[in-house]
């Protein structure tokens, strides 16, 4: 938690750099050989517990990434060839460490975008993107859509700026219920807090998430990518057991 005075005096980028220094200095306490974070490439004796329901072995002590970040980075390296292929990449609501890794890759033309985050390169509304049609080969959009008033419009915009044959990688928190919960009467932050458990959420996705994305013109595959790795590797890299990556693609030559 940043003290209010520090928040007032320091711009967000400086605060983030300070936080990083603090994590880095504390991470020495956890150095070891039991676990490995593929994002910061640090080896530690343990990952730390994290989350409202305290998942054990979740948080990297150095770069503060959790299971889904590490899993996505592995997918990008192993399945997308992110370190080698020349790709135009759009990263929505960029996770700082992932952004740092992607920005350094000279084979990419990389843009990050967010409505307000000072860490993003472009400030945009995902429901009305300022990019030309068919601009990007790859779009990353992790844990964003539940926080967008009209997620279907956002998906149409992502589809518009994606090249034919391009890929949209999505991650989202799914609830056990079969269908997505939307409450049109919940219009204030307080009402949304009551309805969805968080004031900045507009819905809680159910198991129909992939279907919802497919309805906006994508071919969608839900990939349990942790399972592509042997159990001891899953534990060593703290990949979790239930994280899904939704791989949404467009046909190479789209008719519409």
Query: DSSP letter at 252?
Result: S
The residue (of 83 and 249) whose beta carbon lies closer to Zn ion is 83
Place of tokens 């300022």: 130
Distance from chain centroid for Cα 147: 13
The nearest distance, CB 11 to Zn ion, in angstroms, is 24
The residues binding Zn ion (CB under 5 A) are 37, 39-40, 60, 62-63
Place of tokens 């899993």: 71
Q: How many Å apart are CA 164 and CA 46, to the nearest integer?
A: 42
Query: DSSP letter at 47?
Result: P
The residue (of 67 and 151) whose beta carbon lies closer to Zn ion is 67
The residue (of 59 and 129) whose beta carbon lies closer to Zn ion is 59
Please list, residue by residue across 18-32, b when 16 or more beta carbons sit within 10 angstroms of its beta carbon and e when fewer do: eebeebeeebeebee
The nearest distance, CB 148 to Zn ion, in angstroms, is 28
The nearest distance, CB 229 to Zn ion, in angstroms, is 17
The residue (of 39 and 113) whose beta carbon lies closer to Zn ion is 39
The residue (of 60 and 186) whose beta carbon lies closer to Zn ion is 60
Compute how many other C-beta atoms are within 10 angstroms of the C-beta atom of residue 108.
Answer: 19
The nearest distance, CB 177 to Zn ion, in angstroms, is 33
The nearest distance, CB 52 to Zn ion, in angstroms, is 21
Q: How many Å apart are CA 39 and CA 99, to the nearest integer?
A: 11
């Amino acid at each position: 938690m940043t003290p209010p005075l520090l928040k007032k005096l320091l711009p967000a980028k400086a605060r983030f750099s300070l936080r990083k220094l603090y994590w880095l200095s504390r991470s020495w306490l956890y150095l070891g050989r039991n676990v490995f974070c593929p994002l910061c490439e640090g080896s530690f004796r343990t990952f730390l517990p994290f989350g409202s329901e305290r998942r054990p072995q979740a948080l990297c002590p150095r770069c503060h990434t959790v299971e889904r970040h590490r899993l996505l980075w592995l997918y990008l390296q192993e399945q997308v060839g992110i370190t080698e292929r020349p790709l135009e990449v759009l990263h929505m609501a960029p996770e700082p460490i992932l952004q740092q890794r992607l920005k350094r890759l000279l084979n990419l033309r990389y843009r990050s975008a967010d409505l307000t985050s000072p860490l993003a390169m472009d400030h945009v509304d995902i429901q009305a993107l300022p990019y030309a049609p068919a601009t990007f080969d790859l779009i990353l959009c992790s844990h964003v859509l539940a926080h967008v008033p009209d997620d279907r419009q956002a998906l149409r915009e992502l589809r518009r700026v994606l090249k034919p044959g391009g890929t949209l990688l999505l991650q989202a928190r799914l609830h056990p219920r079969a269908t997505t919960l939307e409450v049109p009467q919940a219009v204030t932050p307080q009402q949304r807090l009551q309805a969805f458990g968080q004031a900045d959420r507009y819905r809680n996705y159910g198991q129909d998430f992939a279907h919802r994305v497919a309805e906006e013109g994508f071919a969608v595959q839900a990939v349990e990518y942790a399972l592509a790795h042997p159990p001891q590797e899953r534990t060593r890299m703290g990949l979790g057991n239930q994280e899904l990556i939704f791989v949404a693609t467009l046909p190479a030559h789209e008719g519409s």
